[in-house]
Amino acid sequence: QVSVLYFARSAELAGLRCETLSVPREITSLQLWEEIVKVHPRLALIRDQVVFAVRQEYVLLGDQLLVLRPGDEVAIIPPISGG
């Protein structure tokens, strides 16, 4: 199980700020994103703009294999505008 944290637009689309999800221990970053989108299909709207962080390290969505540990944090961070 991992803790998924939603920020800004991703929190609006998911309807919450955090939750715990059960996912495979070994999973690619893209597969992890797809697992999250299964739970919150509206997140698909920001797929091309989202920044993903696992254990506070930025991760590109793709074939990168992640080895998750129970309690790991996964953050979904959409682009933030401002100046």
Kindly indicate whether the domain formed by 2-77 is annotated with CATH number 3.40.50.2300: no
**Has residue 24 got a pLDDT over 60?**
yes
Q: Which amino acid is at 19?
A: E
Residue 81: pLDDT band with limits 50, 70, 90 = low
Residues 48-72: pLDDT tens digits?
A: 888 889 999 999 889 989 999 999 9
Q: Calculate the CA dihedral of residues 10, 26, 70, 14 and round it to 10 degrees.
A: 10
Predicted TM-score (pTM) of the model is 0.89
Neighbours of 10 (CB within 10 A): 25
Can you read off the two tokens belonging to residue 48?
A: 């091309």
Going from N- to C-terminal start, the domains of the chain cover 2-77
Q: Across all residues in the chain, what is the average pLDDT?
A: 92
C-alpha span between 15 and 40 (Å, rounded): 9
Mean per-residue pLDDT, 29-56: 93
C-alpha span between 30 and 43 (Å, rounded): 13
